[in-house]
């Protein structure tokens, strides 16, 4: 009898434990809750009063705030009431350290701008210290304006990587290969050696994807282009290249190879998955078909293209052909900022205007280009670009309750046509909070800005 009572008591205790275990919310590292969640998933799900549960580096659930509260308890909670919660923005093309040349020379065509200002300034000022200070300043600006992943093409890329990691950002960082002597390589062969060392150093890093960045078909000979591509294939890392940016580039390809830049690179066996072409302004339908067939991604940089008057990329044609196409700012010297909200808005307006068709690029597509389509262009769509369980926890929250944002009928419309980088409140990358309610947590804002300012005299002297 006594045994039966004990057995009964034990089973009651077991049942109660089971019930409480089922009701006990699972503890996770971070819950961002209360805002309108714009997931940018395949269904385009928007959740008013939603929440995102994050554990460690990954998203574990995206649901209504009520359902998330039932299932999860965050060791840390961010209240995003009155805000929009969305995937962090992906800048598919920039030269981060070039923020130190911001506004140095404006209102010039690309060739003159490059040859008279940018290349001479780079020859005299680019150094590890310059790249460190510039990348820190760019990282500060990117975190403050909601960029969580960026693709970079520059020199001393190991310094870029160190600063990117310290800031907590995700980067696809391409070591530049160029035919003429530059600060970090006397010859393209030196550049290739440096790129290989860089790849080995950062191959398995959780935040950094090392890449090879042959500058462009017009600044490199065929054997070097092939060698750069072979290097990236050997290590299975991305290749970043400027592609068909200006009419001059198309003319150079015609004169030298009787071919378009795209067809020329294809004839070298250069094109394939893992290649990201920046700009892709001057391409024919045949070029677009080649890019699609080879699985090449494109980075569209509307502000840089407009400012340098390079031309208008045929974005609707890329979209119709289902080429992976993301948005980029290009370097701050030709933009002149790294605000991806501005890039979204300018892209949407530019293609409506150029095509005399308000449907040419919708707000939804512009937002996708800054998130999931950008991830696809970089070959990272399984890891980032939308708010979905099992993806890496890169998200931002954006204020949606100020005068400029009121009223809000459609959060996607507001993100593209109303919001600015300054509206970003909180930035999370890989589950780590980098900025919380505008307070920087990984960078010292005032000292980073002071360091950037300290370069003015040296840069000015370099182009005198
Ligand atoms: Zn560029």
The rounded percent of the chain whose pLDDT value lies above 70 is 95
Task: Locate the DSSP E strands across 334-416.
Answer: 395-399
pLDDT at 251: 97
CA of 349 to the centre of ligand 1 (A): 21
Adjacency order of strands within the sheet including 147-154:
89-94, 147-154, 170-177, 208-214, 239-243, 275-279, 297-300, 325-327
CA of 246 to the centre of ligand 1 (A): 12
**What is the rounded distance in angstroms from the CA atom of residue 281 to the CA atom of residue 298?**
10
Nearest to 85 by CA among 433, 461, 432, 424: 424
Q: How confident is the model at residue 464 (pLDDT cuts 50, 70, 90)?
A: confident
CA of 315 to the centre of ligand 1 (A): 18
Tokens representing 149? 């992943």
CA of 302 to the centre of ligand 1 (A): 12
In tens, the pLDDT along 202-215 reads 999 999 999 999 99
CA of 172 to the centre of ligand 1 (A): 14
**What is the rounded distance in angstroms from the CA atom of residue 380 to the CA atom of residue 319?**
18
Tokens representing 8? 């009964």
CA of 275 to the centre of ligand 1 (A): 15
Nearest to 302 by CA among 292, 314, 290: 314
CA of 118 to the centre of ligand 1 (A): 12
pLDDT at 18 over 70: no
Contact present, 150 and 90 (Cβ < 8 Å):
yes
Q: How confident is the model at residue 219 (pLDDT cuts 50, 70, 90)?
A: very high
**What is the rounded distance in angstroms from the CA atom of residue 235 to the CA atom of residue 193?**
13
Beta bridge partners of 51: 33, 63
Q: What is the DSSP letter of 431?
A: T
**What is the rounded distance in angstroms from the CA atom of residue 438 to the CA atom of residue 124?**
35
pLDDT at 323: 98
Q: Determine the average pLDDT of the residues in 343-360.
A: 98
pLDDT at 168: 98
C-alpha neighbours within 13 Å on the C-beta side of residue 428:
32
CA of 290 to the centre of ligand 1 (A): 22
Nearest to 25 by CA among 63, 62, 67: 67
Calculate helix-pair angle for 157-167, 188-202, nearest 10 degrees. 30
**What is the rounded distance in angstroms from the CA atom of residue 441 to the CA atom of residue 423?**
17
In tens, the pLDDT along 44-86 reads 999 999 999 999 999 999 999 999 999 999 999 999 999 999 9
φ/ψ of 339, rounded to 5, equals -80, 110
CA of 278 to the centre of ligand 1 (A): 7
Contact present, 135 and 159 (Cβ < 8 Å):
yes
CA of 422 to the centre of ligand 1 (A): 24
> In the chain, helix, strand, coil percent, each to 5?
45, 25, 30
CA of 157 to the centre of ligand 1 (A): 15
pLDDT at 113: 87
307, containing H or E segment: helix 302-307
| 323 alpha-carbon distance from chain centroid | 17
CA of 277 to the centre of ligand 1 (A): 10
**What is the rounded distance in angstroms from the CA atom of residue 223 to the CA atom of residue 232?**
14
368, containing H or E segment: helix 363-369
Which position has the token pair 């714009």?
Answer: 38
φ/ψ of 170, rounded to 5, equals -95, 135
Helix ranges, 178-246 (H): 188-202, 222-235
- Between 116-125, 235-244, 376-385, the lowest mean confidence (pLDDT) is in 116-125
Q: What is the DSSP letter of 403?
A: G
A 10 A CB-CB count for 353 gives: 13
Computed over every residue of the chain, the mean pLDDT equals 95
Cis peptide before 336 (omega within 30 of 0): yes
Instruction: Kindly calculate the radius of gyration of the chain based on its CA atoms and give it in whole angstroms.
Output: 24
CA of 289 to the centre of ligand 1 (A): 23
In tens, the pLDDT along 137-177 reads 999 999 999 999 999 999 999 999 999 999 999 999 999 99
Helix ranges, 24-127 (H): 65-71, 110-112, 119-125
Q: Determine the average pLDDT of the residues in 394-409.
A: 97
End-to-end CA distance of the chain: 101
Which string of DSSP letters, residue by residue, matches 23-45?
A: HSPEEEEEEEESSEEE---TT--
CA of 21 to the centre of ligand 1 (A): 54
Q: How confident is the model at residue 4 (pLDDT cuts 50, 70, 90)?
A: low
Q: What is the pTM of this model?
A: 0.95
In tens, the pLDDT along 249-289 reads 999 999 999 999 999 999 999 999 999 999 999 999 999 99
Contact present, 267 and 256 (Cβ < 8 Å):
no
pLDDT at 110: 81
C-alpha neighbours within 13 Å on the C-beta side of residue 352:
13
Tokens representing 342? 């501005």
CA of 143 to the centre of ligand 1 (A): 20
CA of 353 to the centre of ligand 1 (A): 24
CA of 279 to the centre of ligand 1 (A): 8
Q: Determine the average pLDDT of the residues in 415-431.
A: 98
CA of 259 to the centre of ligand 1 (A): 22
CA of 71 to the centre of ligand 1 (A): 45
CA of 256 to the centre of ligand 1 (A): 23
CA of 245 to the centre of ligand 1 (A): 9
pLDDT at 119 over 90: no
């Amino acid at each position: 009898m006594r045994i039966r009572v004990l057995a009964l008591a034990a089973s009651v205790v077991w049942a109660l434990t089971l019930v409480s275990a089922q009701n006990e919310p699972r503890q996770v590292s971070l819950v961002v809750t209360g805002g309108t969640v714009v997931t940018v998933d395949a269904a385009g799900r928007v959740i008013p009063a939603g929440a995102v549960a994050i554990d460690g580096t990954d998203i574990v659930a995206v649901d209504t705030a009520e359902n998330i509260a039932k299932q999860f308890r965050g060791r840390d909670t961010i209240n995003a009431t009155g805000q929009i919660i969305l995937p962090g923005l992906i800048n598919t093309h920039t030269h981060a350290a070039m923020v130190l040349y911001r506004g140095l020379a404006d209102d010039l065509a690309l060739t003159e701008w490059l040859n008279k200002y940018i290349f001479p300034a780079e020859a005299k000022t680019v150094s590890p210290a310059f790249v460190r200070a510039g990348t820190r300043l760019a990282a500060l600006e990117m975190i403050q304006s909601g960029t969580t992943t960026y693709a970079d093409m520059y020199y001393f890329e190991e310094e870029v990587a160190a600063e990117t990691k310290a800031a907590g950002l995700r980067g696809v960082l391409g070591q530049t290969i160029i035919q003429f002597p530059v600060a970090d390589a006397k010859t393209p062969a030196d550049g290739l050696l440096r790129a290989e060392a860089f790849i080995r150093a950062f191959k398995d890093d959780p935040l950094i994807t090392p890449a090879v960045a042959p500058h462009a078909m017009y600044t490199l000979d065929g054997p070097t282009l092939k060698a750069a591509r072979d290097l990236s294939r050997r290590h299975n890392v991305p290749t970043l290249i400027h592609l068909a940016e200006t009419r001059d580039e198309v003319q150079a390809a015609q004169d030298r190879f009787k071919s378009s830049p795209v067809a020329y690179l294809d004839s070298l066996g250069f094109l394939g998955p893992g290649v990201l072409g920046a700009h892709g302004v001057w391409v024919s339908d045949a070029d677009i078909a080649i890019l699609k067939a080879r699985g090449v991604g494109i980075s569209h940089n509307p502000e840089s293209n407009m400012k340098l008057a390079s031309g208008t990329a045929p974005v609707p044609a890329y979209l119709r052909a289902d080429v992976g196409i993301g948005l980029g700012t290009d370097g701050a010297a030709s933009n002149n900022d790294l605000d991806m909200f501005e890039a979204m808005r300018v892209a949407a307006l530019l293609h409506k205007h150029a095509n005399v068709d308000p449907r040419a690029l919708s707000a939804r597509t512009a937002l996708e280009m800054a998130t999931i389509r950008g991830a696809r262009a970089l070959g990272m769509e399984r890891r980032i670009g939308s708010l979905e369980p099992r993806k890496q926890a890169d998200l931002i929250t954006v204020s949606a309750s100020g005068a400029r944002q009121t009223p809000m009928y459609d959060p996607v419309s507001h993100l593209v046509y109303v919001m600015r980088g300054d509206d970003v409140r909180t930035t999370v990358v890989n589950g780590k909070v980098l900025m919380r309610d505008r307070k920087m947590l990984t960078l010292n804002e005032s000292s980073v800005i002071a360091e950037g300012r300290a370069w003015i005299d040296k840069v000015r002297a370099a182009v005198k």
